[in-house]
Amino acid sequence: MAQEKLLSPKELGDLVGLSAAQVRALMNDGRLEFVEISTKTKLLTMSGWERFQKNATRVKRPEGNQPGLPLGEPQHHSL
Instruction: Give the model's pLDDT for residue 77.
Output: 60
Q: Is residue 23 part of a domain?
A: yes
Number of domains in the chain: 1
Instruction: Give the model's pLDDT for residue 61.
Output: 63
Instruction: Give the model's pLDDT for residue 17.
Output: 96
Instruction: Give the model's pLDDT for residue 56.
Output: 86
62/77 Cα distance (integer angstroms): 24
User: What residues make up the domain containing 50?
Assistant: 9-57
Instruction: Give the model's pLDDT for residue 75.
Output: 58
pLDDT means per 10 residues, the chain with 79 residues, are: 90 96 95 94 95 83 59 58
Q: Is residue 50 part of a domain?
A: yes
Q: Which 3-state string (H, E, C) describes 13-64?
A: HHHHCCCHHHHHHHHHCCCCCCEECCCCCEEECHHHHHHHHHHHCCCCCCHH
What lies within 8 Å, CB to CB, of 26 at 6+ separation is 32, 52
Q: Is residue 69 part of a domain?
A: no
Q: Is residue 70 part of a domain?
A: no
One-letter amino acid of 33:
E
Q: What is the pTM of this model?
A: 0.68
